[in-house]
Structure 1
């Protein structure tokens, strides 16, 4: 697989690996985000030991680990009776020759023996810190990495010299992979999201419709069962979690709505939602003007575009897809896709605003997010408390150019957004897929910005 982007993460690893003294890095993140590719790119031109743990008997894991060490140093494989001996052997060899030591899927070792973090602690404290070598622990089980490696109750707490929480690509980063024009790229990103594996499975010489049908709707395609596979690797009984994800993807976003759609009582539901948040499969949102912990106006959303697409279109139609995938695409997905893409478009517009703030192209805002109250909603609201300034923006993924009606609607909504003083400065922005009616820019004031897809692409272009 081609290695894309990750320049900042790679630079951080290279700086640590090339600096004198020991380093202990932790790399973690959801499955498929490219952790292994990042580490392989980092290790490519450096002396290293790369060990990929597996779900197998503890003694076999340990034997393979020792075999990797022996092979790296040209040793005969020694007899090792426990993890303490294995790490002591590694430390003895690092005394004479430095190495980058990567243990990938570290949670599998912890699953087989929960004392492994203590053995690693002893290795770091007593041997690694006296070398110029580097240890990297990597894992896809975010909850295990955060509790058993990064958590304050872990034996390894406070010993790391750096960590990388690897995230899916933003839309701007994904543009290096998606070679469609800006409009089609947004539509494509709404299907794959920013997960590198999903992005690179699409063939951008083919149309988006062809990619969806061949890479997702085909029962033999990798992505056809991907979400179910991911959930089964993380959860023993994924059925209820799948029903929750489907409900949220179909627009049931409040706890009461999710409970009604799934039949799960509110008490147990809260625990399921916490688990899905811990696995980074759903996000909890509150209005940008509200306190995150205290607000009772929370809504949930599927955290990944591909999962949102899959639970919206694939999971509810599995039987039909098995029989006639093209009919499902033409009759169900194609006519509804603009509604699905509209949510992604809002997120990309928000990303564009943050990029413009970072570059100093627009006035700064310390918080940017959605706002809603009752039936009223504003797609993007930016808050600048120190300057008593607010930004209100709407994003329209429609076939028709935006006109005066949306301007008046947003002005009216602004009165409902209670924030700041009575003399606050108000800035407005409209983002439109299909542009704006002639003369609209002459009818709005200087505090309005009309943003086309071409303008948005310029916001997101590499500096």
Structure 2
């Protein structure tokens, strides 16, 4: 188990240590998408207190033989290695009954990690029942922490965590490992703040993706070398990621491609994909359950709102479907410079969408010095605007029930300073919501890549104006 760069994960380590220190045996479920850093977290937590076993798709016999070899070495007991076991239950029965195991367990709780547990399930669908029996009849009275870990979110949730799983009710703790927060990207690359944002827009907070970047190479060169070159480490990562979750990923890829091309409603996705409505709805539900797609309704809309928009949530997947998949033929023919120019020319539009998402995250994290319960976008009819389009949108609407406050915000990722007229436009667009929420406090914010342009001498008291330098200062002031 290799140890790579380990950043943050303070809260996750605390969760694991609390589970470890609890009296009696523990069954902990750890899962998260490929490359999110599960192995590094396990390695840091485990130390020399137990064993790490990486399961394979070879079947029970091979995995049992590999596991007993690891346990034999950990316990310094060759008798375990020499014994033959027909199944997992007999292996754990003999193992925990051995004098070497019992002596070790008297010293401290033994941690046993089985990583990529879904591989065992794929080879033997009865594995959840097998391990339920192991835990109930063998480990229940032992000083052991058993950690079952996996990268297939769907299989971990359906076969291990769900109500119908034989393991349901046995777990003493669980954790879905999420990507790193934006503030930690500076640990991976030596970039100015704008290119840190660009890096987050493309690679997100997936540690393994960030480790593939050359910290002393420019942003666009890193994009070219890591994604849009034949044989690059992340060139086909999207294919691998989807195959981890789906045995037949074709229709899922079709739906994700449709969304990346700007088809966000159910009807638009059906029209693009040629799939019927019920099928698309089913696929979207699965993608949402895995966190790959996020449904969006306007702020304040009821749960019955029908024209929800669907967005790819993962930055890398969003970039890959927008720029890599449509140009695979050119990349295969080594026309990298041509494709890079296409991406660079279109990137401000892509980055503008991602900048909104980043600011939503940062507002929830408290960058404005106060917390909000919800942060979302709003679109709808504005009754005060009788001319032109009758449908408008506000990039961010944040709401605090405790303070009775509504925040309206706009995000501008442009190379030109933002004129002060945007503030009055924001006030006008917010009128509809202000009428719907009478008696609330209202505040405004504008986040701009390139600063602001105005001639006012006095600051606007109820408006927060932040450019990238302001955002950078507030983020790192809190770390």
Give the TM-score range, shorter chain. over 0.9
Could you tell me whether the CA contact under 8 Å between 2:297 and 2:309 is conserved in 1?
yes
Count the aligned residue pairs.
456
Distance across 2 between alignment mates of 1:146 and 1:242: 21
TM-score, normalisation: structure 1: 0.93
Distance across 2 between alignment mates of 1:261 and 1:419: 38
Q: Secondary structure at the match of 2:291?
A: coil
Residue 171 in 1 paired to residue 182 in 2?
yes
What pairs up with 1:14-33 in 2 under 5 angstroms?
Answer: 14-33=17-36
Match of 1:268 among 257, 267, 279: 279
Match of 1:339 among 329, 332, 349: 349
Distance across 1 between alignment mates of 2:85 and 2:8: 40
Aligned match of 2:475: 460
Could you tell me whether the CA contact under 8 Å between 1:169 and 1:196 is conserved in 2?
yes
Distance across 2 between alignment mates of 1:65 and 1:394: 55
What pairs up with 1:199-278 in 2 under 5 angstroms?
Answer: 199-278=210-289
Distance across 2 between alignment mates of 1:458 and 1:420: 35
Distance across 2 between alignment mates of 1:246 and 1:441: 48
Aligned match of 1:436: 452
Match of 2:466 among 451, 456, 462: 451
Post-superposition offset of 1:63: 2.4
What pairs up with 1:23-172 in 2 under 5 angstroms?
Answer: 23-44=26-47, 46-73=48-75, 74-76=77-79, 77=81, 78-93=83-98, 94-98=101-105, 99-172=110-183
Post-superposition offset of 1:53: 0.8
Could you tell me whether the CA contact under 8 Å between 2:363 and 2:372 is conserved in 1?
no
Aligned match of 2:423: 407
| Deviation readout 1:198-230 (Å, 9 max, x if unpaired) | 111111211111111111111011111110122
Aligned match of 2:340: 329
Distance across 2 between alignment mates of 1:426 and 1:385: 13
Deviation larger for 33-42 or 3-12 = 3-12
Deviation larger for 190-199 or 18-27 = 18-27
Distance across 1 between alignment mates of 2:253 and 2:425: 37
Residue 368 in 1 paired to residue 375 in 2?
yes
Residue 350 in 1 paired to residue 360 in 2?
yes
- Cα gap change, 1:4/1:421 in structure 2, threshold over 3 Å: closer, same or farther? closer
| Deviation readout 1:145-195 (Å, 9 max, x if unpaired) | 112222222222222222111011121233332331111100111111111
Post-superposition offset of 1:441: 7.4
- Cα gap change, 1:104/1:423 in structure 2, threshold over 3 Å: closer, same or farther? same
| Deviation readout 1:81-104 (Å, 9 max, x if unpaired) | 122212223332443323210000
Distance across 2 between alignment mates of 1:209 and 1:170: 22
Aligned Cα root-mean-square deviation (Å): 2.0
Deviation larger for 396-405 or 171-180 = 171-180
Aligned match of 1:421: 437
Aligned match of 1:319: 329
Post-superposition offset of 1:304: 0.7
Post-superposition offset of 1:286: 1.7
Post-superposition offset of 1:333: 0.2
Q: Secondary structure at the match of 1:95?
A: helix
Aligned match of 1:297: 307
- Cα gap change, 1:426/1:277 in structure 2, threshold over 3 Å: closer, same or farther? same
- Cα gap change, 1:373/1:88 in structure 2, threshold over 3 Å: closer, same or farther? farther
TM-score, normalisation: structure 2: 0.90
| Deviation readout 1:270-309 (Å, 9 max, x if unpaired) | 1121222233321112223223x42213111112101100
Post-superposition offset of 1:251: 1.7
- Cα gap change, 1:128/1:198 in structure 2, threshold over 3 Å: closer, same or farther? same
Residue 381 in 1 paired to residue 391 in 2?
no
- Cα gap change, 1:191/1:364 in structure 2, threshold over 3 Å: closer, same or farther? closer
Could you tell me whether the CA contact under 8 Å between 1:87 and 1:120 is conserved in 2?
no
Could you tell me whether the CA contact under 8 Å between 2:365 and 2:371 is conserved in 1?
no
Could you tell me whether the CA contact under 8 Å between 2:348 and 2:413 is conserved in 1?
yes
Post-superposition offset of 1:418: 6.1
- Cα gap change, 1:441/1:67 in structure 2, threshold over 3 Å: closer, same or farther? farther
Q: Secondary structure at the match of 2:338?
A: helix
Aligned match of 2:388: none
Could you tell me whether the CA contact under 8 Å between 2:152 and 2:244 is conserved in 1?
no
Could you tell me whether the CA contact under 8 Å between 1:87 and 1:119 is conserved in 2?
no
Post-superposition offset of 1:338: 0.9
